[in-house]
Chain A
Amino acid sequence: KQEVTQIPAALSVPEGENLVLNCSFTDSAIYNLQWFRQDPGKGLTSLLLIQSSQREQTSGRLNASLDKSSGRSTLYIAASQPGDSATYLCAVSGNTPLVFGKGTRLSVIA
């Protein structure tokens, strides 16, 4: 059974810092891994999708990497801004339906 773990559960950083969010999964037989952002009381916004054959994806200040063999992904956020404050969720898709981690709650302090 696929399990997804995200560390840390919460993170508070000053504005301008670069930061890394971690995601690990137990079953490496995945089709893809997706990073989402969720603002309080809102839906999920897809940030990046990495196919199982890919190693990383970039969008603006975000960079996500995937190491399928070790069951790990990282989301790198460069030059963080207060507007980046949200919960970041990692989810993997494979033989099991999309399985989510519990998220990392990020606060960027101005």
Chain B
Amino acid sequence: DTAVSQTPKYLVTQMGNDKSIKCEQNLGHDTMYWYKQDSKKFLKIMFSYNNKELIINETVPNRFSPKSPDKAHLNLHINSLELGDSAVYFCASSQTAQEQYFGPGTRLTVT
């Protein structure tokens, strides 16, 4: 059984478009996260949600808007995509301050 799943796995789109990435976890965790891994493979947190409430927003442009319809889902919507948004985006989940489990990643390419 997949613990943390993301769709799509690959996303190729043009500059200026709006796209969404979906994340679901079946671990019963109360906290979910979005991370960005850039071309140099450096991982950095973008957002964290606890029980559907935003608790961390790490200086991410407001073109990025996370939405958590329930504890098991955290989606990422990106408006007006730019070339610099090309990266791998990872979703993760955990119980508060406990071990984090990561999804397989979504490779976003903006052309």
Which A residues contact B (CB, under 8 angstroms)?
A: 31-32, 34, 36, 42-46, 49, 87, 89, 91, 93, 97-100, 102-103
Contacts and interface: CB of A to CB of B under 8 A. Distances in A.
Interface in B35-92: 40-45, 48, 56, 58, 90, 92
Q: Chain A interface mostly helix, strand, loop or mixed?
A: strand
Interface in B89-111: 90, 92, 97-105
A46 B93 CA distance: 12
A46 B33 contact: no
Interface of B: 33, 40-45, 48, 56, 58, 90, 92, 97-105
B91 to A, nearest CB: 9
Task: Sort A-B residue pairs by CB-CB distance and give the 3 closest, nearest first.
Answer: A44-B102, A49-B99, A100-B43
Contacts of B42: 100, 102
Given A36-B102, A44-B102, A102-B40, 18 more contacts: A32-B99, A43-B102, A43-B105, A44-B92, A46-B100, A46-B101, A49-B98, A49-B99, A89-B43, A91-B43, A91-B100, A97-B33, A98-B33, A98-B45, A98-B100, A99-B45, A102-B42, A103-B41
27 contacts: A32-B97, A32-B98, A34-B99, A34-B100, A42-B104, A42-B105, A43-B90, A43-B103, A44-B43, A44-B90, A44-B92, A44-B102, A45-B102, A46-B102, A49-B99, A87-B41, A91-B100, A97-B33, A97-B56, A98-B33, A98-B45, A99-B45, A100-B42, A100-B43, A102-B41, A102-B42, A103-B41
